[in-house]
Amino acid sequence: MALLLDVRHLTVEFPIQNQMARPFSPLETSVGTADSPMEVRRGTGILDSASRIEEPSRITSPPSVAAVRGLSFSIAPGEVLGLVGESGSGKSVTSLAIIRLLPPQARISGEILFTNGKRSACNLLQIPEEEMRHLRGSGIAMIFQEPMTALNPVMRVGDQIAEAILAHDNSKDIRKREAWQRAIEAMNDVAISDPERRARDYPHQLSGGMRQRVMIATAIANRPQLLIADEPTTALDVTIQAQILELLAELREKFGLAMLFISHDLAVISQVADRVAVMYAGSLVELGAKHDIFNSPAHPYTRGLLKAVPTLKTNRARPLETIEGTVPSLQVIPPGCSFEPRCDFRVPACATALPPLVEVAPGHWARCPVVNPLK
Ligand SMILES: Nc1ncnc2c1ncn2[C@@H]1O[C@H](COP(=O)(O)OP(=O)(O)OP(=O)(O)O)[C@@H](O)[C@H]1O
Ligand code: SF4
Ligand SMILES: [Mg+2]
């Protein structure tokens, strides 16, 4: 079956001197590669208006740090890929690169191939902004961890969903009234009771779980094929978290939705994902079917992560296992295996060159030739 999303050798770098200079605004987007000039476009956020100023600018190559390094993975139609890793491992940067909402200073290289409907795959890093804008919502949509920061506090939630429908629907003559009607249908799809009345509420009138449902309604309103969910349940208490996971499973079933589901919570990933990708310090260290990752992890980092999760069998008399040390700062990533300073299995060669990904079983890859010797 053709792939829906095929990310190849994705690298995202940030210039060091600009790193803290200016906070990222979602109203700014950028596309560029290490080899080509970067276009800087202002006012092209998800819900932008017609007015737009484009300012092409040339970027020389200042010293930079790589937040994502040579990352490759794919998602088939209807599949859920779980992306896990500690804080700072590059999960959000990866998702923002896919939906092309990284700040203008980011330098991006590689390919992000997306197959929209029956059309052949296009490289999201190269299509014009206008095309990308239509794709956001109708092809790929995103939900974030904290809905309160993504929703407009002074706008009724129904209007916000309708605005997303109007901004991304390709059919020319969709009217406000129709968009409002579709917003109510989307609220119904995410099981918000009495959606006609709730659509008139402002975000502060809704609970956290309800606000996340509104975000999901906004995301699915234009029937995307791929939903990127960046820690969608982390800000919610466990009961509401379970409800949102159940809702996402239902929507997946109903609309054949594929998902890139980002979380640092392995328990959540084990519930939703078909396959799992593990990131460490910007690189992919392990990729495989959920069953393989959870039952026979092949990378020492994944093994450490799994040991750190308490289960019913965990001996409560002993302290929980942890991985000694911390994720290296982007400015001092070790030249060889980035996990080497924390790894109990390291050999001298680990410190000199980036280890290759080894296929330990069909479809199961791990970046550790020491624990998984090349045959
Ligand atoms: N705009 C930016 N400029 C410079 N560095 C950035 C920028 N955005 C992210 N980074 C850096 O890139 C690295 C990866 O960040 P990212 O947000 O992708 O991590 P994450 O895996 O999503 O972590 P978390 O679990 O905390 O959300 C971090 O070191 C972060 O500081
Ligand atoms: S390559 Fe070496 S340092 Fe890296 S995980 Fe494997 S054994 Fe550990
Ligand atoms: Mg993140």
Give me the residue label for tokens 């997306």. Answer: 114
Ligand 2 atom having least distance to the Cα of 347: 2
Ligand 3 ion: Cβ-proximal residues, 5 Å cutoff? 91-92
Q: Tell me if 300 CB under 6 Å of ligand 1.
A: no
- Answer whether residue 34 shows pLDDT above 60: no
Q: Are 209 and 236 in contact (CB under 8 A)?
A: yes
- Answer whether residue 44 shows pLDDT above 50: no
Tens digits of residue pLDDT in 248-300: 999 999 999 999 999 989 999 999 999 999 999 999 999 999 999 999 999 99
Q: Are 85 and 323 in contact (CB under 8 A)?
A: no
Q: Tell me if 368 CB under 6 Å of ligand 2.
A: yes
Terminal CA-to-CA distance of the chain, rounded, Å?
A: 29
What pTM did the predictor assign?
A: 0.85
Closest to 10 measured CA to CA, from 27, 40, 33, 30: 33
CA of 9 to the centre of ligand 1 (A): 18
Q: Tell me if 307 CB under 6 Å of ligand 2.
A: no
Q: Tell me if 100 CB under 6 Å of ligand 1.
A: no
- Answer whether residue 18 shows pLDDT above 60: no
CA of 375 to the centre of ligand 3 (A): 36
Closest to 299 measured CA to CA, from 277, 332, 321: 277
Q: Tell me if 340 CB under 6 Å of ligand 2.
A: yes
Ligand 1 atom 9, closest CA? 93
Tens digits of residue pLDDT in 45-83: 333 333 333 344 444 566 889 999 999 999 999 999 999
Write down the domain spans for the chain. 5-273, 302-366
Yes or no: domain 5-273 corresponds to CATH 1.10.10.10: no
Distance of CA 221 to the CA centre of its chain: 19
